[in-house]
Amino acid sequence: MTIPEKIEKPHVAFLPSPGMGHITPLFEFAKRLVIHHGFHVSFFVITTGASAAQNELFRPENLPADFTAVEIPPVENISSFFTDDMKLLTQLCIMVRESLKHLPSLLMEKRPKALIIDLFCTDAFEICEKLSIPVYSFFTASTILMAFSLYLPTLDREVEGEFVDLPEPIQTPGCTPICPHDILDQVKDRKNDEYKWYLLNVSRLPLAAGIFVNSWDDLEPVSLKALRENLFFQKIPLPPVYTIGPLIKQDEVVTEKDAEILAWLDDQPPDSVLVVVFGSGGTLTSEQLSELAWGLEMSQQRFILVVRKPSDASASAAFFNVGSDENDPLLYLPEGFIKKTEGRGLVVPSWAPQTSILNHPSIGAFLSHCGWNSTLESVIHGVPIIAWPLYAEQRMNATLLAEEAGVALKFSKDPGEELVDRNEIEKNVRIVMEGEKGKAMRRRAKELKESAKIALNSGGSSYESLCSIVQIWKSQ
């Protein structure tokens, strides 16, 4: 009797930069390869500056079989590399640079067929070239930002002065023009180190063996067509682009407190509740939080408001301490607000099970910072958006969602830079929750929800795109 030879599972590795907005999509991609395609995955975790939410995600009981979390040792005295005026992206890139000094030995030990990185881990290209390991990039933000980012080295050569001062919209080849004010924060000051880090990382994108995007054709048809067909991108030359989205958080740990939120939602009518969350890192100023609270009260709508300790210094103040900000919202909300909204509103401190909430039939709209993960979660659950962009590329996303996708309403002011008063908040909440425009946005969101399902299912565009690279890895 012949004993059948054990077939070894194909093995790939993942490497995200710090921050839940980067870790979550790569984590979901890795799980999909393990569960649906029979892969073994090594998931390299940068532990320097790890948040409570990150540590919770990588607990052994949260990982499927054949999914190995590999911790990269923390960088000693990381704060010695930082200065008081250093911006978030510069800090993040330094954390990555110093952490990746451990990567060669880890890769030699694991020997994966390929390494999938996010945008800020591009130091891995040089490391992997020496080890003959192909590197793929997972662009975790919108495709319109990816197209703009690929065009940025050309803009850098051809444009003098600041991009935000340009008199005309910025025309990325083949894409919808971008208002200079909407461009991501990291390229608004070309003298700052943050700009230099961003330019360095995006200029390395063409080195990838392939680029994964967390999107699909029906959500971003214009920029995806440009990437595939426009002569500019063909000349770079651009590696193969694989649309594999929307990948969102699938399995959310629901605590006892979270269960109380969902039970409260069970008692509300369908499409009647506005959920207000500013992502894993977003924070408001004290004055803006107060105006938001009174705008919600004046709107007379049902709502869930996730409250984080306000910061007058930075809109991304919570980026590195996600899930650890235990606080009492009563310390920050206006006096009398809780009493006036009792029964109609639910206030939650710091953190809520966003995916589970958006999936609830009682949710009628999402007041969101428009980070790409939150955007996809909203769209895949058929929920329209009131756009409240705060930092990074969120203004670009808000414009895309309002003007191209038709699922969002923007404020006349920029919430990241100007105070949005309670009257405008009340007006926009009523428009989306009660008005005809809100109903049209809800219909469009539900259309995209169905389209996303089709894209991800067998035979769909995202499913087939992923299968094509899976076959390449399996045949190597």
Which positions are catalytic? 22, 118
Burial of 390 (0-12, 13-18, 19+ CB in 10 A): buried
Q: Which residues of 125-155 are buried (b: 16+ CB within 10 A; e: fewer)?
A: bebbeeeebbbbbbbbbbbbbbbbbbbbbeb
Q: Phi and psi of 135, rounded to 5°?
A: -115, 130
Secondary element (H or E) of residue 124:
helix 124-131
Handedness of CA 390, 393, 398, 399 (dihedral sign): positive
DSSP, res 46: E
Residue type, 69: A
What gap in Å lies between CA 270 and CA 168, rounded to an integer?
44
Task: Tell me how many degrees the CA angle 311-178-215 measures, rounded to the nearest 5.
Answer: 80
Nearest CA-CA partner of 199 in 180, 186, 181: 186
Give one word for 310, left, alpha or beta, with left for phi > 0 and alpha for psi -120 to 50: beta
The residue count of the chain comes to 476
Secondary element (H or E) of residue 288:
helix 286-299
What gap in Å lies between CA 391 and CA 144, rounded to an integer?
16
Count of CB atoms situated within 10 Å of the CB of 65: 8
Residue type, 414: D
**Between the CA of residue 309 and those of 159, 313, 335, what are the distances in Å?**
40, 12, 16
**Beta strand ranges found along 299-447 (DSSP E):** 302-307, 345-349, 363-368, 385-387, 408-410
DSSP, res 67: E
* Residue 89, both tokens: 């992206």
What gap in Å lies between CA 72 and CA 63, rounded to an integer?
17
